[in-house]
Chain A
Amino acid sequence: MIKLVRPLVLLLLAAAPAARAQQVRVVKLPALQQLLQRPTDTTYVVNFWATWCKPCIEELPHFEQLRAKYARQKVQVLLVSLDFPSKLDAKVRPFVQKQGLKSRVWLLNEADQNAYIDGIDRQWSGALPFTLVLNNARQRRQRFEQPLTLAELEKAVLAAQAP
């Protein structure tokens, strides 16, 4: 047993410096819905992406920049990967590590797209990338079925926060 644990600990220690990127949390739909329905005056920027989606990868830096810029405000960035759960270790985790993503990353562990797309947003067709910018206390919900620039994201956040 000890024989087994030691290399594991060493491995963990070795991996520690690289572990500053976000861990990927695997969630089911209700956990995501709960977050999307929080009645707080926090603006949530929720981006749906996948490692196989080129325009998604290209726009990820904008979400990272947005997170850094609004870190002191009530703005939360969440990146929801729609990669297949079977690709978590092979694709998603290495990608998040390599990019050093600082935003929170979840992977949605649901297979029935026809059910979960409407469960996230009825106006979403299912095309990626897709971004929701919402503030439930202010009853604001904006949807973008297209890649966004940092300027477009900021505009959406400001609209969501406006008094």
Chain B
Amino acid sequence: MKKSLSVLFALLAVVLTVGTAFRFAPAEGGYQVGDKVADFKLKNVDGKLVSLGGNAAVKGYIVVFTCNTCPYARAYEDRVIALNQKYAAKGYPVLAINPNDPQVAPGDSYADMQKRAKDKHYAFPYLMDETQDVARTFGATRTPHVYVLQRTGQDFKVAYIGAIDNNTEDAKAATQRYVEDAMGQLLAGQAVQTSSTKAIGCTIKWKKKA
């Protein structure tokens, strides 16, 4: 009995040590579908501060964590522009947020963001998440990473989290267009059927700890 107990303790010790060896990205947790979103204020490329509540006309937002430098984010850039073209008029504009630390990803500085937004004629805000608090609160881990938010009264709730579609390399070959499907269902007053998906992307370039 004693022996089996000590074996048990030894096992427990191993489990605990291994447990502490587990490490996750800084953005542990974050929002789940259905969660209420805390409003934020971030600086847009035009110098103005943008918040969710600042635009009373919208029914929601297509929030896209993205950046200048990630090849996967770039592969989706035109699709993000197209999403805004299609859904801004229906009350769901795109809100692009760059969460990368420019110290780690030099091409993602505020000046580079301004240039990219100008070159590609972004018709939506491109916000700098300088403290990375918004990305952390959302639980964003990568670029691109989409959160569709729906207004309910004064609040915004998460209706969809994940990828834009299921073919990064070739938009035309995508057989699932997750964000468009979710938007179609939201606009029709229906529940989003596929409310969470995963996709490959670039790890958010978190600030290096001093």
Contact = CB atoms under 8 A, between A and B. Distances in A.
* B interface residue count range (under 10 / 10 to 19 / 20 to 34 / 35 or more): 20 to 34
B200 A111 contact: no
Interface in B31-72: 69, 71-72
B163 interface: yes
Contacts of A124: 198
Given A140-B18, A145-B25, A162-B18, A52 B203 contact: no
B176 A114 contact: yes
B142 A125 contact: yes
Contacts of B197: 114
Contact of A159 (B21, B24, B142, B202): B21
A55 B202 CA distance: 9
A127 B21 contact: no
Contacts, number: 87
Interface residues of A, number: 34
Interface string A127-141: 111000000000010
Interface stretch (B76-84, B120-128, B164-172): B164-172
B201 interface: yes
A113 interface: yes
A-B residue pairs, 8 tightest by C-beta: A127-B142, A52-B71, A125-B141, A117-B198, A145-B25, A127-B203, A159-B21, A114-B197
Interface of B: 14, 17-18, 21-25, 69, 71-72, 141-142, 162-163, 166-169, 176, 178, 197-205
Given A128-B201, A142-B22, 15 more contacts: A53-B71, A54-B69, A82-B200, A86-B169, A114-B162, A117-B198, A117-B200, A123-B24, A124-B198, A126-B141, A126-B142, A140-B18, A144-B23, A145-B141, A163-B14
